[in-house]
Amino acid sequence: MHSIVVFLIFKIGWKKLLPVGAIVTITFALFQLKTLPYQLKTPNLSHPDTNNFDIYLKSQITPLTIDKESEAIKIEPETDMLNSSSQSIQSIIVVQEKVIINQTRNQVNINKPNKSILSSSFSSSSERRRKRYLRDIKELSPYEALVYAKKELNTMSVGIDYHDPNLYVPLFRNITVFERSYELMELILKVFVYQDGKRPIFHTPYLRGIYSSEGWFMKFMESSKQFVTHDPQKAHLFYLPYSARQLQRALYVPDSHDIKPLSIFLKNYVNKIISKYPFWNRTHGSDHFLVACHDWGPYTLKEHEELTKNTIKALCNADTSEGVFIAGKDVSLPETTIGNPRRPLRNMGGKKISQRPILAFFAGEMHGRVRPTLLKYWANRDKKMIISGPMSYKTSQTMSYSLHMKSSKYCICPMGFEVNSPRIVEAIYYECVPVIIADNFVPPLNEVLNWNAFSVTVAEHDIPKLKEILEAISMKRYRMMQNNVKMLQRHFYWNRTPVKYDMFHMILHSIWFSRLNQIQDLTGTQ
């Protein structure tokens, strides 16, 4: 071979061989690019009719199960799918081709920016593959991107050892699924925010008090450069930016005990959205979401059937017995008390375990059915159990409400008029293990967080046995739960500027996760 090369150089001349070599090299490179595994693009693919598309695949539903307690999402048929069956089948084939990427993920690791693919030692071909993967993901239609994300999560391996050091594994139901889902959200998710609606009910975040979660989310969602798109054709989710708190302040007549005008107002607003834009009717509202923390949030939706049944609802009043909040589809919104919006993280933290002499603490108004029962059995009954009505001025001057929580091992969080309570998040802020007493209540962000790891749930009928239940918890387990509470805090912070994994991002992830739960598994993976 060496002799042949030398012969060609001398007989033909190296200047004549140079173009030939260049052509051979370019041809070989194009052949390699043509055979890369990440072929996601399919030109001229229209957005499928997602309603009929979901119905056609109803028998293949595979929800994103995170443990045995997770619930499947059932999409009820709204229309006949026979007229679009051929188009749906064609769409299925296209998406199946796109998700083949999962079969070759082990060849190029794109999960973490600090893994080997981005290290100084990765090959140029791997870098080209990574860039092409990211580009092709962004070129998927919104529905195709959701199908791809669903396929990714359905094929996740629980045995992956590496996890983001900013995440604490015991807090989560399935850390592997959460981590990958969060990464896909950051990579894919785009939200269209409707600009319709007059202030103050719309686009006016209320940032103070116990209903402030909806306001802080609105503030950050509408100003997000990462997640908001102004092109609704690129959106995976559609946000209805109203405030239940502002709705109550603007329309409710004091002492009238009539919230129907609020419900009619929302019904008219949604009907206006439906008549003005084509996006609601495409899925009958299942890719739209709202965020409402006021106790009346669920009740103000009832005049509009699709708004009640189909829309993804992030609600503080996450009561499964009312027929509005649907566990597994809707999101339990954390109820947070913000005193000073300029310093939302003021007065956080608590005392060491050795400096928490109080076994259990509660003080508050006698709202609802649970609190009177709590006081009946435990008020002034035990020195270790400080259970009372509203704290007197004299008592609060001696030892403030927050200091009581910081000095208690367990903080009792009973429901009020509704199942939700701001004390749950307050307990987390003060590093006190929450004790939740509210039947039919879904704890905040329950689809990803393992509440058994950092809280205690007591059934309402077990209130007489409250002390017995708490004292039966070993010190070893209590220390573990209390440490988990401290590790959990970052996920319940409203930072003045959103930070990865904080409250804003956790709520948005749960909404994104809910939308993925509605997507059919097109690959037959069980």
Domain ranges of the chain: 132-339+497-525, 353-492
* 333 residue type, one letter: L
- DSSP H or E run through 434: strand 433-437
Identify whether the C-beta of residue 432 lies closer than 8 Å to the C-beta of residue 346: no
Q: Coil, helix or strand for 327?
A: strand
Q: Which of 439, 420, 468, 471 is nearest to 213 (CA)?
A: 420
What is the residue whose two structure tokens read 């590093």?
431
> What is the token pair recorded at 128?
């080209």
- Burial class from Cβ neighbours inside 10 Å (0-12, 13-18, 19+) for residue 479 reads exposed
Cβ–Cβ < 8 Å for 143, 124: no
The one-character DSSP state at 413 is: E
- pTM equals 0.79
Q: 481 and 487 in contact (C-beta within 8 Å)?
A: no
Residue among 280, 317, 311 nearest 298 (CA): 317
The arrangement of strands across the sheet holding 358-363 comes to 385-388, 358-363, 408-414, 433-437, 456-457
Which 3 state secondary structure label does DSSP give 237? strand
Strands (E), 203-356: 237-239, 288-292, 312-315, 331-332
Q: Which residues make beta-bridge pairs with 498?
A: none
Which helix (H) or strand (E) element contains residue 433?
strand 433-437
125, amino acid identity: S
Cα separation, 508 vs 445, whole angstroms? 10
Phi and psi (nearest 5°) for 39?
Answer: -100, 95
Of 508, 505, 502, the closest CA to residue 490 belongs to 502
**The listed CATH number (3.40.50.300, 1.10.10.60, 3.40.50.2000, 1.25.40.10) that belongs to domain 353-492:** 3.40.50.2000
pLDDT in tens, the chain (526 residues): 555 554 555 555 555 556 666 665 666 555 544 444 333 333 333 333 443 434 433 333 344 444 433 333 333 333 333 333 334 334 434 444 444 444 334 333 434 444 444 444 446 778 888 788 888 888 899 999 999 999 999 987 655 566 899 999 999 999 999 999 999 999 999 999 999 999 999 999 999 999 999 999 999 999 999 999 999 999 999 999 999 999 999 999 999 999 999 999 999 999 999 999 999 999 999 999 999 999 999 999 999 999 999 999 999 999 999 999 999 999 999 999 999 999 999 999 999 999 999 999 999 999 999 999 999 999 999 999 999 999 998 888 889 999 999 999 999 999 999 999 999 999 999 999 999 999 999 999 999 999 999 999 999 999 999 999 999 999 999 999 999 999 999 999 999 999 999 999 999 999 999 999 998 744 444 3
